[in-house]
Amino acid sequence: MEYNFRDIEEKWQKKWAEKEPFKAENDSDKPKYYVLDMFPYPSGAGLHVGHPLGYIASDIYARYKRHKGFNVLHPQGYDSFGLPAEQYAIQTGQHPAITTEENIKTYRRQLDQLGFSFDWSREVRTSDPNYYKWTQWIFIQLFNSWYNNDSDKAEAIEDLVARFEKEGNSKINAACDDDTPTFSAEEWKQFSEADKQRILLKYRLTYLADAEVNWVPALGTVLANDEIVNGVSERGGHPVIRKKMTQWMMRITAYAQRLLDGLDTIDWPQPLKDIQENWIGRSEGAEVQFRIQNSEFRISVFTTRPDTIFGASFMTLAPEHELVEKITTPEQKAEVEAYVEATAKRSERDRMADVKTISGVFTGAYAKHPFTKEPIPIWIGDYVLAGYGTGAVMSVPCGDQRDYDFAKHFGIDIPNIFEGVDISEEAFADKANTVIANSDFLNGLNYQEAIRKVIDELEKIGQGKGKINYRLRDAVFSRQRYWGEPFPVYYDADGLPQMLDEEHLPLKLPEVEKYLPTETGEPPLGNATHWAWDTKNNKVVSNDLVTLSAVEGSDKDNGIYPLELNTMPGWAGSSQYFNRYMDPHNDEEIFSQEAIAYWQDVDLYIGGSEHATGHLLYSRFWQKFMFDKGYVPKPEFAKKLINQGMITGTSAFVYRTKPSLIISNKYEHDNRKSFHDLLEKIPDIFITKNYIEKNFKIERKVNFAKGKFPEIKEIWNSFNEYSLNLDSEGLLFEIHKLHADVSLVNSSDELDIEAFKKWQPEYKDAVFILEDGSIYDRNSPLEGGERGVYKVGREVEKMSKSKYNVVNPDDIVEDYGADSLRLYEMFLGPLEQSKPWNTAGITGVHSFLKKLWKLYSSLEGGVDSEPTKESLKTLHKTIKKVEEDIENFSFNTSVSTFMICVNELTAQKCTSREILEPLAILVSPYAPHIAEELWEKLGHSESIAYAPFPKFEEKYLVESTKEYPISFNGKMRFKMELPTDMDREAIEEAVMAHEQTAKYLEGRTPKKVIVVPGKIVNIVG
């Protein structure tokens, strides 16, 4: 019987859907194992062959663990809030929920057809109110918490209030805003309730703040730092500007050190840990206060080189620094204001683009050096960033290249404080070889000694202390968008944020007419007519009922307040979903304590490394918070993580040209117009790949008049009704590389020209120069005769719709089946590595499956036989290798092993059930449909999914002889079959006695003979 993959796969997918064999129980005698995929954002484009790679790997591992007797949790869901559905809504008016629902249907169909063993009964969707109820709930928990640096964990805000009442805040070591005022217990008690709330906001783990944010005008929203790439938005590539706005923030910086330390406890890829480590960016140094002359203000700076403090010859503030306007002298005022304004106008990208340009302005003010008491001029310059450290630096030109360049540019002193170092050309930043000079009490000390000493001295005079600074910023948590989680927040009579009571969650997303910002520039939720909170009846009511009580007096307060108009960012919903899967239908709690106590954490998490500084960092942060609050037992949510590599596409390129300019005096005036008319009529020419490679450099202008390119000339001359002499007139043209859809190209890189024209109608009249030099145009006969071909260029690129190199898994499944696709994706190469897709190669694994199928056909007639020694050896070496490979996530090599195994068993004409049954189990994680079918044919009525994994037995592999490679000076020359138990001396004797040995020695006596028993013999001559 033939291998009919379509029927087989349909049959088993139906059975799995009906019987739900992969449903995990929250209680079991078996050990637990939790395999998690990063849940997808259901985009409108559906899956391409790159997407399932990680899912296939995790599914193999999950199925393997079931064979190994584990109770496996392998859930799947959707990260279904997000920008694309909302952008689509803006364009079409279609509600994002509808778009999302449709996309999810497509995803589900595509996932189902690949035979994944997901427990769909646990599906979550971040946009489902029953799910985001708990996202809102966590937000409230964060709001009600502060970070105690002494206990090094999050604690309840009531405890903080109790301490304020007892001792004020001066002794409390908390993570809080820099501008938090100091107060005593008495003062605290005097504060109004509103003032108390304002102060508490400076301590809460989620808080409102005026922050410099990344504003994307094109999207009408702010984005977090990790959503900005090269100064433009990650999605859409829109420009970003800095803007000060009141936003919800997450105090992730409180956890900076723990996020760093935790990395040592988890088995995640080192590159990913490095990325997080760089992102957190810990640096040790000191904070130093500089007094300002004739002023009460002090400038605080952070430096990693306090040892160079005597080399500070000026100070630089970021243009946004709050002291700038306060200290600038009247004479400098105009200049400074102009500079500040100019900097604010420049976009982030502009600022990044010209790092080289040095700019700055003197404020007119002077600071006082803490030790020498000398005056130090204070400048502002945009090379100092407002967002890092204190937004101010002490500039030591002799030790820092940027300070050096700035000083040189503005003619500021560059005192040298290093012994025996020439700084006439550049700054000296080599810490290891530093000996301090011209620095009073630091003279003669090295870097480390000097740092210790200077920090001591600074502490003595109360102008500084050792400090650890982090690059990590608090995360902006507000988005001015519609399609996200609403904040469970309303604003009271004082305009202060108040949390809804937990029992009234979820606060559901309201309906709006338009998904765009309001006319007054409010977020889209401002368009909702019912978006106010009635605190008496605890429900959402019409906006019209809101009383402006703050203005009209509290007696008019009817308890109805406006709700927050921002929504939460994309990462909110994905920061705890892995825990929610443990108990996804619980309406009382985010998850029951029984469920989390059983499942604990994720054992294996597979997903892309692009989430390193977003999802994976925020999730670790929330997990640590949940750990502090005692909701989860582990401070890290995933023990092991693997980044699957990207499957890249093989793009196809066509080469288009058109003449662009005549460089001749003769045609300067009148004829120029006729040339442009001519241009309209001249067709595009597409030139085949080899012609291009021989003659052109792409994207470079080519002078036409040099007597070259007769084919191109011929075509253009045929349209030359204006009698332009193309031969002599120096016509320039450029070759442009254009993507062609890969489906229009066959495996020999030949373009289907007619299909291409149909696909891009603007080129329907184009002319093609073919490989054999012939010309193909509208008048060319399509059929008959030998025609040349048009060959495309090929390049490996990221698979994406815009590059027309996307391969759809639906087509592959249709042609070869899901098992073939699964095997092939694994066979392509190591999981972590990026590798190009090439559909042609799939025939290899497909014919493997056919051979496998054939191997079992003998059993249909009830034929069975004792296994031969060879077959047992083949089986057991396969068991050993496959088991090792799966444990090491080396799935590509086990597919090879299967092929070798089946080739060997076929050669051995194996018809033994004792071999074929275990083999079916080995294959089952990789190709589950065919394995189930074969298992059934072997007479089993239960699914193969829980059949115990075959046990490897060494005894079948033991050999009595070994074929030794015999090498001379490291070069293998011949082989010798010798008993495995032969000792060193006997082997040497046997080898030396061999006739071939004499031949290769050519009469010389060997200097040395190296015998490694069981491995190799090397004769050194």
Binding to RNA (CB under 7 A): which residues in 318-337? 318
**Smallest separation (angstroms) from RNA to the CB of 751:** 17
Indicate the burial class of 349 (C-beta count within 10 angstroms; 0-12, 13-18, 19 or more): middle
Q: Which of residues 608-627 bind RNA (CB under 7 A)?
A: 609-610, 612-613
* Using rule CB under 7 A, residue 302 touches RNA: yes
> Can you read off the two tokens belonging to residue 332?
């400098």
Q: Which of residues 440-469 bind RNA (CB under 7 A)?
A: 469
Helices 869-887, 891-907: axis angle to 10 degrees equals 170
Q: Which is nearer to RNA, 17 or 907 (CB)?
A: 907
Q: Which is nearer to RNA, 137 or 388 (CB)?
A: 388
Q: Which of residues 988-1017 bind RNA (CB under 7 A)?
A: 1008, 1010, 1012, 1015-1016
Q: Residue type for 403, please?
A: D
- What is the bridge-based pairing of β-strands 835-836 and 647-662? parallel
Q: Which of residues 894-913 bind RNA (CB under 7 A)?
A: 895-896, 899-900, 903
Q: Which is nearer to RNA, 20 or 274 (CB)?
A: 274
Q: Which of residues 255-274 bind RNA (CB under 7 A)?
A: 270-271, 274
> Which residues partner with 465 through β-bridges?
287
Of the candidate spans 216-224, 350-358, 479-487, 810-818, the one that interacts with RNA by CB under 7 A turns out to be: 350-358
**Smallest separation (angstroms) from RNA to the CB of 552:** 45
* Using rule CB under 7 A, residue 664 touches RNA: no
> Which of 156, 338, 957, 1020 touches RNA by CB under 7 A?
1020
Q: Residue type for 49, please?
A: V
* Using rule CB under 7 A, residue 415 touches RNA: no
Helix (H, G, I), strand (E, B) or coil at 700: coil
Of the candidate spans 28-36, 298-306, 678-686, 716-724, the one that interacts with RNA by CB under 7 A turns out to be: 298-306
CB of 488 closer than 8 Å to CB of 136: yes
Q: Within 13 Å of residue 915, how many CA atoms lie on the same side as its CB?
A: 31
> Which of 134, 164, 482, 848 touches RNA by CB under 7 A?
848
> How does 688-706 read in b/e, with b if 16+ C-beta sit within 10 Å?
bbebbeeebeeeeebebbe
Q: Which of residues 468-507 bind RNA (CB under 7 A)?
A: 469, 471
> Which of 713, 890, 937, 1001 touches RNA by CB under 7 A?
890
Q: Which is nearer to RNA, 589 or 959 (CB)?
A: 959
- How many residues touch RNA (CB under 7 A)? 82
CB of 1018 closer than 8 Å to CB of 1010: yes
CB of 40 closer than 8 Å to CB of 96: no
Rounded to an integer, what distance in angstroms lies between the CA atom of residue 397 and that of residue 750?
61
Q: Which of residues 924-963 bind RNA (CB under 7 A)?
A: 963
* Using rule CB under 7 A, residue 663 touches RNA: no
**Smallest separation (angstroms) from RNA to the CB of 351:** 6
Of the candidate spans 35-43, 323-331, 597-605, 891-899, the one that interacts with RNA by CB under 7 A turns out to be: 891-899
> Which of 303, 657, 688, 924 touches RNA by CB under 7 A?
303
* Using rule CB under 7 A, residue 402 touches RNA: yes
CB of 72 closer than 8 Å to CB of 838: no
CB of 301 closer than 8 Å to CB of 287: yes
Rounded to an integer, what distance in angstroms lies between the CA atom of residue 368 and that of residue 662?
66
> Which of 566, 688, 892, 943 touches RNA by CB under 7 A?
892
Q: Which of residues 377-396 bind RNA (CB under 7 A)?
A: 382-385, 387-389, 391, 393, 396
Task: Specify the residue for token string 């130090």.
Answer: 376
Rounded to an integer, what distance in angstroms lies between the CA atom of residue 920 and that of residue 900?
15
Q: Which of residues 520-549 bind RNA (CB under 7 A)?
A: none
**Smallest separation (angstroms) from RNA to the CB of 846:** 7
In the chain the first and final C-alpha atoms are separated, in Å, by: 61
Sheet of strand 145-148, all strands in order from the earlier edge strand to the far edge? 153-156, 145-148, 174-175
* Angle (nearest 5°) at CA 790 between 784 and 794: 150
Q: Which of residues 801-840 bind RNA (CB under 7 A)?
A: 827-830, 833-836, 838, 840
> Can you read off the two tokens belonging to residue 908?
């051995």
Q: Which is nearer to RNA, 387 or 939 (CB)?
A: 387
**Smallest separation (angstroms) from RNA to the CB of 638:** 19
Helix (H, G, I), strand (E, B) or coil at 718: coil
Give the per-residue contact string, 591-610, with RNA (x = CB under 7 A; - = no).
------------------xx
Q: Which of residues 207-236 bind RNA (CB under 7 A)?
A: 225-226, 229
> Can you read off the two tokens belonging to residue 28?
């079991």
**All residues at 6 or more sequence positions from 725 whose CB lies less than 8 Å from its CB, including other chains:** none
Q: Which is nearer to RNA, 567 or 613 (CB)?
A: 613
**Smallest separation (angstroms) from RNA to the CB of 892:** 5
> Can you read off the two tokens belonging to residue 775?
């010309």
* Using rule CB under 7 A, residue 980 touches RNA: no
CB of 813 closer than 8 Å to CB of 839: no
- Residue (of 699, 711, 688, 694) closest to 793 by Cα position: 688
**Smallest separation (angstroms) from RNA to the CB of 446:** 18
Of the candidate spans 64-72, 518-526, 675-683, 887-895, the one that interacts with RNA by CB under 7 A turns out to be: 887-895
Q: Which is nearer to RNA, 800 or 893 (CB)?
A: 893
How many CB atoms are closer than 10 A to CB 989? 12
Helix (H, G, I), strand (E, B) or coil at 770: coil
- What is the bridge-based pairing of β-strands 241-250 and 232-233? unpaired
Helix (H, G, I), strand (E, B) or coil at 73: strand
> Which of 256, 412, 845, 886 touches RNA by CB under 7 A?
845
Q: Which of residues 743-772 bind RNA (CB under 7 A)?
A: 747
> Can you read off the two tokens belonging to residue 614?
């977003």
Of the candidate spans 112-120, 696-704, 813-821, 846-854, the one that interacts with RNA by CB under 7 A turns out to be: 846-854
Of the candidate spans 118-126, 251-259, 279-287, 688-696, the one that interacts with RNA by CB under 7 A turns out to be: 279-287
